[in-house]
Structure 1
Amino acid sequence: MTAKTLTIGELAKASATTPRTLRHFEALGLIKPGRAENGRRVYTLQAISTLARIFLLKRMGFSLAEIRSLELKPASPKDIIETQLSLLSARKTVLERTISQLRTTHHLISDQLSGSESQIYDGPMDLVAFCLLLREGEAILERENIQPVFEKYFTAEEQMAWQTQMDRHFPTGDRTSYQVLWERLIVRCEDALARSVAPSAPEAQRLAKEWLELQKPLQDAVGPELWRKTGTMYEDMQDWQTPERQAPFSPEVFSFIREAATLLAGAP
């Protein structure tokens, strides 16, 4: 770093993000680095403010494509505030619905507890049933949030095929051993990224191999064409992720595994 510039690593650290994310933003035209004499990327201090604006707009619900449009044609503060109000209003609606459900259940349980002994009340079982209902409701909300993304990438028939496989491998009730394996693998990938493990490192190669083996049942079940479209959807996840609409893994994890898998495929 000079007095006026930052390297990509320094900018990533200053902005609490990763070099991979910065390269993705660069490819989308959101940030524009200069080049040092040795050809490496360098950024002015203004890039920190630009990234802060990008991340703020993402938290407000804008996609990266929309943020790029705003950068090319800046929106007025009024437009930005109206968008944020719409997002907060949607969150408020979800919260009010959840609060209403909890209050109704609370009243039902209170009535049962204060009723006659002839009323049957099994506290633990009722609590388990209620928790399952909550989890099912959360899953429904997640599907509603992700539905516009599915509609963009898949036909109605393809969506049904995917949903069948999701219900089989990732049910809304009890977690399957397959789901647990995915969750643990994603955590290990995130840990490797936090330790700056290179995609070419043996550890990354082992993670990529495990990832490929774990995804094979799904890949075989949906077929090559649907799997290709799924890959495209995840390649674009920076554009459609919002606080309410999240992929099961981060763009950084996806990029890390994809690069490691490519190196693994080319290994002798």
Structure 2
Amino acid sequence: MTAYSIGELAKRSGITVRALRYYETQGLLAPLRTESGQRVYGTRDILRLQQIQMLKQAGFSLAQIKTMMAEQAVDAARLLGMQQELLQARLAETDAMLETVTSALRAVREGQTVDLSTLCSIIKQGESAMSEEKWQKVWDTYYTAEEQERWKAAKEAVPEDVQKACERNWPTLIARTEALVGTDPAAPEAQAIVKEWNAMTQVIYDVDPSLMRSAARMYDDMDNWPKDGPVSPFSKEVWDFIKAAEAAAES
């Protein structure tokens, strides 16, 4: 009979111990307990965990997954409809990135100069948009399952036109920030950049301010992201410069 401790299951499944415990508090998993109180995961638990992860990858929230797994008969039309909405959202993200690349290409063909930093930022943004599975490894490392649910809810609350505007403007903003790395973070140019930067990120934090600390912790530690994880949209030097500019603004 298959039987794993919580640590063994976390190692075999690639899911953090913290996430497994959270799934249990949400009623998604119900492992047996030994006399000493240790969790024991059997075949049924492993199958449920696989279902949870597949539905999560399909874009469903934990609340939605709990409802679906509790139903005796799956509502196929509802399930497929939700998957359709997810794919349409991903398509919209890809379209927004394509629009950014197309605009940059048009500028080049019209004789405008596009510097290397901007080109690299656009490419990085494109890589990030197409690497959902790689990003999940970072999110699982730095965010609890509950925080991930809050991130998803906060993003969904941001108007679509605002999201698209941010996606279009990020590459240029990052490139402009890279060009200032090494300069005085208290200088007017740096202070203008950090105001733009904060305005872009604030659209999420206005919905849920508690997410700001988790995001800062994740980027503070970007040098230790999983080796098979995503390419960060900006360098550690850019992040450190933004933090220094913020500190200068507060002093």
The structure with the larger Rg is 1
Provide the TM-score with structure 2 as the length reference.
Answer: 0.49
Provide the TM-score with structure 1 as the length reference.
Answer: 0.46
